[in-house]
Each structure stands twice: as C-alpha cells, then as structure tokens.
Amino acid sequence: MNNQLKWKVEQNNLYLIGVLIHETLLPLWHQRHLVMKSIENIDVGALTRIDTGGLALLIHLQSKSVHHQKRPRISGVTSQLDALISLYNLKKIINHRP
C-alpha cells in the first residue's frame, strides 16, 4: 500500500491524492500558505484514507484560506470522511459537498 499524500493545484482547485493521515500531512502543512493562495475548492475524492489529523488539516486549510472572502469548498467527500465529519459534529463548520 502506498502511504503517501500527493497534491496538485489546477486553476483554483486543490486535488488531494492518496493518504491524508497524521504521518503524511507534514509536507502539505509546511507549504499550506503557498498552496492555498487562490484555492476555491479542495477536492478530496482521490483520498484513499483519512484520519482525525487529516480532518484537522482540512478544517485548518478551509478556515485559514479565504479567497475573495469565501471559504474554499471541500468536494468529493467520501463516506469515510462524511462519517468523521458527522462523528465530530462538524457539519456546520466544514463547507463541503459530495
């Protein structure tokens, strides 16, 4: 199993690919200011695994990155991520769509 997190930025979209867990998120954390400059959407549909550390990073990226006074949306939410969002009662905090 490939336990890496990769990402790419295309136009105003950030695509997260692979595994977003506390062991893999540090490189993105270090580059978050540069990566999130003009992001309007964070696509998590290609994530194969996410833990609470990854969820915390998503919340941080969404809340700290404001483009044109709007929080980026999170798209491609899997059932696993939706379960974490529900478990921690974050539906009102996380701006997401399936």
- For 37-69, write each residue's pLDDT tens digit: 889 999 999 999 999 999 999 999 988 766 556
Distance CA(79)–CA(23), nearest Å, equals 22
| Token pair in block for residue 75 | 């798209």
* Helix boundaries (H) for 1-97: 26-35, 52-64, 79-87
Region 5-87: CATH code: 3.30.750.24
Q: Can you tell me the mean pLDDT for 82-89?
A: 91
| Token pair in block for residue 31 | 């580059």
Of 46, 51, 53, 49, nearest in space to 74 by CA: 46
Quick one: CA dihedral 17, 19, 24, 29, positive or negative? positive
Q: Tell me how crowded residue 88 is: count the other CB atoms within 10 A of its CB.
A: 14
Amino acid at 60: H
Say whether pLDDT at 31 is over 60: yes
